[in-house]
Amino acid sequence: METEPPVRHPDAPAPGTKLGQHYSRCFGCGDEQPGGLRLSATAGEGVSLVAEFEVTEAHEGAPGLAHGGLLACAFDEALGGANAMLRLPAVTGHLQTDFRRPVPVGTRLHITAQVDGVAGRKIYSSAAGRLNGPDGQLALHARALFVIVDVSHFTTHGNREQIAKLSWDQAARDEQLDFNP
């Protein structure tokens, strides 16, 4: 199947809009997850977003340095959030991360994530992470494949009772997810 350029959904959050957490216990963005990354994301131009989080001692792999797996988690979160510009529910099928520079504790990691193309259910995305701001040193680069799923993916494999408490409950019943933050 041909890979098509991504099309921003007309109801996608306007560029500059802060995206809320999609789930309070999400390790990537939730504020009820101890030690979580608490990534905050803002809608970007086109099919993209900008995200940031502070690397803390809770995220260490070596003394004073971020754990690579948690940095990959941040990219999973940011790349997954970019799908909100398509307003399509999708899960990560493949994620690859290039670690180009160490990321010390205390760094504010700045991530830009974008959807590059869509082929049927497959969404191809990429992201870059810079140290302490948009003009900081390039520390990481990631590519991902997300696969568009029906909301039944979450209700079948996840915790249906927890899902029922979320704001996307009604949308889930309608077999659609609400991506409004």
**Which 86-115 positions form the footprint of ligand 3IX (CB under 6 A)?**
89, 91-94
| DSSP β-ladder status, 60-62 and 48-54 | unpaired
The nearest distance, CB 62 to ligand 3IX, in angstroms, is 25
Write each residue from 53 to 72 as x if it is in contact with ligand 3IX (CB under 6 A), else as -, in one continuous string.
--------------------
The nearest distance, CB 113 to ligand 3IX, in angstroms, is 10
Number of residues that bind ligand 3IX (CB under 6 A): 20
**Which 3-32 positions form the footprint of ligand 3IX (CB under 6 A)?**
22, 28
Burial 109-131 (b: 16+ CB within 10 A, else e): bbbbbbbbebeeebbbbbbbbbb
Interacting residue with ligand 3IX among 30, 36, 44, 80 (CB under 6 A): 80
Question: Which listed range, 2-10, 51-59, 60-68, 120-128, lies at the site for ligand 3IX (CB under 6 A)?
Answer: 120-128
Residues that bind ligand 3IX (CB under 6 A): 22, 28, 76-77, 80-81, 84, 89, 91-94, 120-122, 145, 147, 149, 177, 179
